[in-house]
A and B are shown apart, each in its own frame.
Chain A
Amino acid sequence: MTEAIIFWAFTAISVTAALGVVFNRSIIYSALLLILVFLSIAGIFVLNNADFLAIAQTIVYAVGMTIIVLFGIMFTGDRAMLDEPLTSVRKLVSLVLATFTFVLLIKTVQFPFSIQPASQSVIQTLMQSGSTKMLGELLFSQFVVPFELASVLLLVAMVGAIVLAKKTFADAGEMSSQQLSYSIDSGEPTKEANSALHAAASRGEVHLEEVTRS
């Protein structure tokens, strides 16, 4: 009984917060509400004995990812959302499609033919030592190849992210980015900074309007 109450409480929180993420006008509030969504879903995981998943959800999504989202928002500036009328055709079509998919998925999972209940021994182990140990054993036995490949995947993704993000003004001109940002901060770009910027702009790498505006 209490379990059901807690479950519905978490569900209500996550749905309300998710609606808030979508409908909130301020993108910062949306991002903060996203944390609430992730946390309440972590709570549902706990109710299903998936303790490891709950912790991973909290660490990776609720903390790590949303922090990055917030950083991203703060770096790019809290721009006002586009004011699209509430009843545009695009939104109506999206609404119909989303409703259709929602009903379809609900129908799908309602069907009795689904995942089998876990065996007694699995439940025993879960009660005694939690799912972390079992997951760890699986990762290092049956799934060792995907596990190792995942590390390669992360390595490549990290290298790629650095390669793509390593774009500085210094690449564009001959001078260091420190000098350049200094000159921009002081409001009057030095001669060298100006020439470097124009060289970059002529190659299409930097938009002059943006630089001068900042």
Chain B
Amino acid sequence: MESFIPPLLMNFMVNNNVALINPEILILAVLITNLLLACSPLKKDQEFSWWLSLTGTGLALVSLGILFVNVYFPTLMDNQITIQQHGVMNVLQVDLFSWVIRTLLTLGTFFVLLLTRRYVEEKASDIPGEFYVVLMGALLGGMLMASAVDLVMLFVALETLGISSYILVGYLRGDLKSAEAALKYLLYGGASTAVLLFGLSLLYGVSGGNTQYAAIADQLQRQLAPFGHAMMPVVPVMLTMIMAGFAFKLSAAPFHMWTPDVYEGAPTPVTAFLSVVSKIAGFGAAIRLLYLLLTLFGQWANVLSVLAVLSMTIGNVVALKQQNVKRLLAYSTIAHVGYMLTAMVVFSLNGISSLLYYLMTYLFMNLGAFAVVIYFANLTGREDIQAFAGLVRKRPGLALMFTIFLLSLAGIPITAGFFAKFFLFQSVVEGGTNYIWLIVLGLLNSTISLYYYLNIVRLMVIAEPSDAVAALPAEPNSIQSISSLGVVMTICLLATLGLGFFANPAYDLSVQAMTQMAFKNVFQHIQVSAVPFPGGGH
């Protein structure tokens, strides 16, 4: 390998830890190869682009595994947290936290690719190769977002994910709903990005012209000392803008208006991508940046509690009357974002670790649910909830899997969803009596969500078969029809149950990841005793 690389370049790569972003480089290679392939005479070969992307994403997973064994596992075994340099080219911090997020993103995209296969062929058959180019672009942006520790890097990565998502949403070109969804997403997204960028530029100004997180923390800490921070009008404006920008990306209420329309109009695999991969990437970037900001401006976390409560309540209550299963899952996503935001309100180590664990389980249970929806839509062409009636008579396996995913989303014990909610609320309890009302509202909301999740289960099990289900052939007609979707469903099912049975190792991993991230990013530069600030100012 070394013989191919000039020594000067090799030195540069070793000095800058370029090996840590091998997965990203792989994904970029897949992107470019796919693009060349789409221009070549081979472009009619739709299978090939798909196989190439799937293999590339799989190789990226392998590469992440190698990184874990070689780089992160040794630091995990160390009980002392050693400050290992995981910085790449000054703008990325590729630590264990970003490893977890990147693995989730790559895994999510791998599943989305499996979900995509027949969908793209059937619905957008004339230009399939480009779909994978854009999808890889979105993944690349998301992965870099998770490790960005520089405002410029964060913004460019965020936009790479964002713009790719707008394109993916509008990919069904003949479909008016898809076009409407793409336009809405683009307009809302553009406006929110502008707000976020304004906030970031204020942060750049406040921190004396620094773009790196570590330098910003350092500078803010030094500059804040002479001022009572409460009297600076720039801080609330800046924080509000940054939080509003992220709240849009995470589709937290009241910035959620775009979500149901976009989720309904987008091609279903893209909806799965948006609801899982985009959210995980958004949380990854938000945790890094807000960790820095909220350590300094602790009391502003209360703004997040408003977002959390609004998201939970609006998501769950509006989900009650949804008839389309994609819209239902959209509102359920908003509600889950609300639960996850409660952990950010407390912003303790345990809180953020449980958020990370929640993201892990959310990936599997939500993608599993989407896999079932796509499978069902492939069979019957229906997306309304009533169509699922009596499914257990014709496809007991499918109905059982859907039931488990829905129970996990609702947070019923022995599924991973239960443990995720349990850890999350437990960390909020530890945050103190101030947050008891958050728990109460969270539990109330979980109860509301039971209604609409179990409603689908009731329909599938008890109700008479709908005409769509009644028209189904008795048994799956061939292995071909279950291959790729079946793989996704099975893996998601195993993981949903497995993360429940083996909750502890997964939770420990997130605690480790958070400890390293927090330590390296902030506490290295800020004396822990100096934070948090007293709530009322001076």
Contact = CB atoms under 8 A, between A and B. Distances in A.
B153 A164 contact: no
B164 to A, nearest CB: 5
B130 A159 contact: yes
B144 interface: yes
B200 interface: no
Interface string B223-260: 10001000011100110000000000000000000000
Given A142-B90, A205-B174, A156 B160 contact: yes
Nearest to B234: A108
A213 interface: no
A113 B176 contact: no
B232 A113 contact: yes
Interface stretch (A71-79, A146-154, A176-184, A188-196): A146-154
B202 A146 contact: no
B370 interface: no
A146 B170 contact: no
B156 interface: yes
Interface string B165-176: 011001101101
A164 B170 contact: yes
A114 B126 CA distance: 53
Interface in B84-122: 88-92
B152 interface: yes
B233 A156 contact: no
B89 A144 contact: yes
Contacts of B130: 159-160, 162-163
Contact of B233 (A107, A116, A163): A107
B140 A104 contact: no
Interface string A78-117: 0000000000000000000000000011011101011110
Query: Which of A143, A166, A171, A203: most chain B CB closer than 10 A?
Result: A143
A157 interface: yes
Interface residues of A, number: 34
Contacts of B31: 152, 156
B134 A167 contact: no
A155 interface: yes
A202 to B, nearest CB: 12
A111 B174 contact: no
A152 B160 contact: yes
A145 interface: yes
A149 B133 contact: no
A171 B176 CA distance: 16
Nearest to A106: B233
Contacts of A157: 163, 167
A204 interface: yes
Nearest to B231: A111
A105 B182 CA distance: 31
B208 A159 contact: no
A152 B137 contact: yes
B205 A115 contact: yes
A161 B141 CA distance: 18
Contacts of B164: 156, 160
Contacts of B157: 146, 149
Contacts of B91: 142-143, 145-146
B206 interface: yes
B127 interface: yes
Contacts of B173: 163-164, 166-167, 171
Contact of B167 (A108, A109, A150, A160): A160
Contacts of A203: 174
A153 B159 CA distance: 8
Interface in B124-144: 126-127, 130, 133-134, 137, 140-141, 144
B400 interface: no
A153 B90 contact: no
B35 interface: yes
Given A153-B141, A156-B134, A156-B137, A164 B209 contact: no
B204 to A, nearest CB: 8
B126 A171 contact: yes
B156 A149 contact: yes
23 contacts: A104-B237, A105-B237, A111-B234, A113-B232, A145-B153, A146-B91, A146-B155, A146-B157, A149-B157, A155-B35, A155-B137, A156-B31, A156-B137, A157-B167, A159-B130, A159-B134, A159-B167, A160-B166, A160-B167, A166-B173, A167-B174, A171-B174, A205-B174
Interface of A: 104-105, 107-109, 111, 113-116, 142-146, 149-150, 152-153, 155-157, 159-164, 166-167, 171, 203-205
By Cβ-Cβ distance, the 8 closest A-B pairs, closest first, are A160-B167, A156-B137, A146-B156, A115-B205, A205-B174, A153-B160, A116-B208, A108-B234
